[in-house]
Amino acid sequence: MALTLRPYQEAACTSLFAYWAANPESNPLLVIPTGGGKSLILATLMRQFIDIEPTTRIVQITHVKELIEQNYKELIGMWPWAPAGIFSASLRRREASSQILFAGIQTVYNKTAKIGHVDLLMVDEAHLIPPDAKTMYGKFIAALKAINPNMLILGLTATPYRLDSGRLDEGDDKLFDSVAYEITIRDLIEMGYLVPLISKATASTISVKGVSRSGGEFNAKQLQLVVDDLEKTKAAVDEIVSYGHDRRSWLCFCSGVQHAHDVAAEIRSRGFTCETVHGDLTSGERDRIIRDFKAGKFKALTNANVLTTGFNDPRIDLLAMLRPTLSTSLYVQMVGRGTRCIGPDIESSIRNGKADCLVLDFAGNVRRHGPVDAVEVKKPGKGEGDAPVKECPSCHSLILAGLRECPDCGHEFERNVDEKLTATAAAVPIISKSTAQFVEVTERTFFRHDKPGGKPSVRVEYLCGLVVHKEWICPEHDGFARDRFAKFWRDHGGAEPTPPTIDATLDRVGELRETAEVRIRASGRYWEVCGRKLAAREMGVAA
């Protein structure tokens, strides 16, 4: 049965040929989110190249055997008689002379003499190419270019930046020149090809205070010491169980092998089935556990450093990030494990029991890097820096990390304060734009808000569980802002005339009905309040 490309997949292929027509000596990138069908795009491009020039020699290279096998099967499924083979020791195949060759870098980096002339090199998971020319990728590409200096190179990735966060198409050592086509996670969610991501604030958090940084990442041994706290692990697992008891499949990213075992033990102690995978297991044992997890034989899987790329299980509907990371790429890859639909689109996924994926960020990664569709990527050589967003301890505003004074309340921050995650870390939106949702309000408070250089307003804070959501009303403004305040006042049952000043408003807030729920939606790095449900009247009549 012939496979039909989705419109964006067809656009990716068309854009690539248009790019090369205009830039024949450039090495472009195609940026497709996890779950967006990179394998089908690769297969389509391979066939199109050979249709144009039947003698074209193509090598597709990656680092994970699952991806090698997956990409090969995608091509054979679309084109059963494709002249394709595999060169991978882990798959026990060494078909070096195939016209289309799917290869593992660990096997072929020093086998270019056997492979010979290559016209097109396709690199899947291109963000894993290190900048050093002495690495496996560097040696392999240099040797192929020595055989054919005109070889084209194409990179495919969900994250166009290296693990140390520098962009792949920037810097003196860049391999790729620019992005020929890109589509975002949010685009595919809005199109219905990926499930929405939702996040909840977590009371349990992992502090990275005192953990050193090197090579663009937290020191692994020091991080392991930080997470080696059984009480904190128990508290985090309590929250995972609370949020996930009625969800289908949990995947937990942990900070080391022992941490992964500890989390798994706590999950099992609460009556849920759980296994652990990590790099110290044999390949056969790891494959068995992953196969059983995908088959639904147990509910939860904890892992240390092995399931961030190349792992595909559409059933996952809860992700728990218990691993802090400085790598933007790693953060996006982790979140991408939960975005796949069960079936071809969101409608079929909902019918199959998966309407969204819940992300529980105990590690502060959302705050550190931003919403997953609008991440902030540091340029190489700029240092680690502070988290791009921090929380004001006085008014709970989320503000740019570089500010020394909170623009909302004037709180002054000490210089060189160690980064510390707080209980509202996961309140940063996981997606920069999202469908509005109602959340229960447990407390509502009004404050005077003085803005330097502008008119004062009233800040309304809604405490929703562990998170504070805010909106501003403007009794002393003119035009639309004043009209909006008047509507807020009337909607909440305030008496006429509406208060003309800040002080009058604060004196009369006792007239207003309580707020039962607020409707919120993500807007960039913050949540905005876009609607409200009022508490029932005294006689019990619903608002």
pLDDT tens-digit map of 83-138: 999 999 988 999 999 999 999 999 998 999 999 999 999 999 888 887 665 688 88
pLDDT in tens, 50-80: 999 999 999 999 988 888 998 999 999 999 9
The pLDDT value recorded for residue 21 is: 92
Are 310 and 71 a contacting pair, CB within 8 Å?
Answer: no
What pTM was computed for the model? Answer: 0.72
Helix (H, G, I), strand (E, B) or coil at 88: strand
Q: Within 13 A of 260's CA, how many CA atoms are on the CB side?
A: 22
Domains of the chain in sequence order: 7-183 (3.40.50.300), 190-427 (3.40.50.300), 437-534 (no CATH)
Shortest CA distance to 199 belongs to which of 461, 507, 414, 520?
A: 520
* Burial letters 383-395, b for 16+ CB under 10 A, else e: ebeebbbbbbeeb
Inter-residue contact 529 to 520 (CB < 8 Å): yes
Whole-number pLDDT of residue 49: 95
Q: Which residue has the higher pLDDT, 506 or 308?
A: 506
- What's the mean per-residue pLDDT of the chain? 84
Q: Which pLDDT tens digit goes with each residue over 409-457?
A: 455 655 443 333 333 334 566 776 666 778 889 899 999 988 777 788 9
Say what the pLDDT of residue 1 is: 43
276-286: per-residue pLDDT in tens?
A: 999 889 888 99
- Rg for the chain, CA atoms, rounded: 26
